[in-house]
């Protein structure tokens, strides 16, 4: 089921116009989320200039006077290597700010959704991770996001934590745009072949978030849920599919086969990354009856519809 199915075909669910706040609306997910929700709801959104997550005063100033039913927090300090050397800031933005937002939202009786990450896991498991698996972050980014999860759920167990991974979509460029640009510039490319995960398409994710919150006739879901597209892959395989799809779409791709290399050989990485962070979305499917489509299908749609051919 696509995002539009959720936004337009809402049989049996509470279709009333809701008052929604999105914090982080300049980001990749935040911007698309606002665009989608505005079609059916009353949305107030805050980018970083209007709401600084590391400043309790800024958060209070932005939210205190507002009345709302749901708040989606998509804003975060997402630069994994930057977080590693800016620990205090990472915790303030990814945990302190979210905790404060949860307190304000709870005082208004509003439901809150916190977007989290696969980086809460250490990556040593050989199978996919479900919501009952032990967390053990190996980076400051992962640890700060885990602390954010805990604070948001400590304020209200009715809140929702959605862990996502390898996010891509319209707006701010992500891995697919980067690797396609690289493949158009160079014939030889390498990517880690020993690191696995699941890409998540923002436009699909928005449909799943709506299904878990606004469209649920018996109230929004709570607790931790894993959300990503189906089928796992290595970084190398993800990159290969991106450039093959781009070639099919007419991009002047020079690189043919991306060589798989160990992630340990990527000198630019400051922070450790989980080797395996494949997320199991079974809990979400059991609750909503929605099976996320394959990331390949979503990626093909993204390349064809959202990435512009170079002039
Ligand atoms: N991207 C991924 O691969 C990935 C993977 C797993 C989980 N996630 C999670 O998914 C969510 C959405 O990610 P995304 O891809 O949309 O990330 P994004 O494009 O980096 O968006 C994050 C937004 O948060 C804003 N922000 C950063 N620091 C802030 C601060 N101190 N105060 C207020 N706003 C601040 C950023 O502002 P600027 O516009 O100034 O940068 C940006 O607009 C995040 O919670 C992230 O942790 C992402």
Ligand 1 pocket list (CB less than 6 A): 24, 26-30, 48, 51-54, 74-78, 93, 115, 117-118, 145, 164-167, 172
What is the spatial distance between Cα 208 and Cα 221, in angstroms, rounded to a whole number? 11
Asked if residue 114 lies in contact with residue 148, where contact means CB atoms within 8 angstroms, the answer is yes
Both tokens of 219, joined, read 């109230």
CATH of domain 3-172+198-230+278-293: 3.40.50.720
Distance in Å, CA 91 to ligand 1 centroid = 14
pLDDT of residue 15: 54
Pocket test for ligand 1, best of 21, 23, 25, 27 (most atoms within 8 A of CB): 27
Please give the structure tokens belonging to residue 207. 């449909």
Neighbouring C-alpha atoms within 13 Å toward the C-beta of 96: 17
Distance CA 231, CA 16 (A): 35
Give the domain ranges of the chain: 3-172+198-230+278-293
Mutate to test the pocket of ligand 1, among 30, 59, 78 (most ligand atoms within 8 A of CB): 78
Start-end of H helices in the chain: 3-8, 28-37, 56-63, 80-85, 87-91, 97-107, 140-155, 175-185, 202-212, 235-248, 282-288, 295-306
pLDDT computed for residue 310 by the predictor: 73
- Return per-residue pLDDT of the chain as tens, 311 residues: 445 444 444 444 445 899 999 999 999 999 999 999 999 999 999 999 999 999 999 999 999 999 999 999 999 999 999 999 999 999 999 999 999 999 999 999 999 999 999 999 999 999 999 999 999 999 999 999 999 999 999 999 999 999 999 999 999 999 999 999 999 999 999 999 999 999 999 999 999 999 999 999 999 999 999 999 999 999 999 999 999 999 999 999 999 999 999 988 887 889 999 999 999 999 999 999 999 999 999 999 999 999 877 76
Contact 235, 195 (CB under 8 A): yes
pLDDT of residue 13: 46
Nearest to 180 by CA among 261, 259, 241: 241
Best residue among 22, 23, 24, 299 to mutate for probing ligand 1, ranked by most atoms within 8 Å of CB? 24
């Amino acid at each position: 089921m696509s995002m539009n199915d959720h936004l337009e075909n809402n049989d049996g669910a509470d279709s009333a116009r809701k008052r929604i706040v999105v914090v982080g609306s300049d980001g990749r997910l935040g911007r698309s989320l606002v665009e989608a929700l505005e079609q059916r709801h009353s949305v107030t959104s805050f980018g970083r200039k209007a709401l600084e997550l590391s400043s309790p005063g800024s958060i209070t100033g932005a939210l205190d006077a507002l009345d709302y039913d749901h708040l989606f927090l998509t804003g975060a300090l997402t630069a994994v290597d930057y977080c590693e050397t800016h620990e205090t800031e990472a915790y303030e933005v990814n945990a302190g700010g979210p905790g404060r937002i949860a307190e304000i939202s709870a005082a208004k009786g509003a439901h809150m959704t916190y977007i989290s990450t696969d980086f809460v896991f250490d990556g040593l498991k050989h199978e996919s991770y479900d919501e009952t698996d032990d967390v053990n972050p190996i980076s400051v980014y992962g640890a700060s996001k885990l602390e954010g999860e805990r604070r948001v759920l400590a304020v209200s167990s009715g809140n929702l934590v959605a862990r996502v991974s390898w996010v891509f979509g319209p707006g701010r460029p992500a891995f697919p745009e980067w690797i396609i640009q690289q493949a158009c510039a160079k014939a030889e490319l390498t990517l880690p072949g020993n690191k696995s995960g699941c890409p998540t398409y923002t436009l699909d994710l928005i449909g799943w978030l709506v299904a878990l919150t606004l469209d649920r006739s018996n109230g929004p879901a709570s607790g931790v849920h894993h959300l990503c597209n189906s089928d796992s892959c290595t970084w190398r395989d993800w990159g290969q599919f991106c450039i093959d799809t781009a070639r099919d779409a007419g991009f002047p791709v020079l690189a043919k086969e991306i060589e798989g290399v160990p992630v340990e050989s990527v000198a630019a990485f400051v922070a450790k990354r989980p080797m395996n962070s494949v997320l199991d979305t079974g809990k979400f499917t059991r609750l909503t009856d929605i099976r996320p489509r394959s990331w390949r299908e979503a990626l093909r749609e993204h390349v064809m519809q959202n990435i512009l051919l170079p002039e």
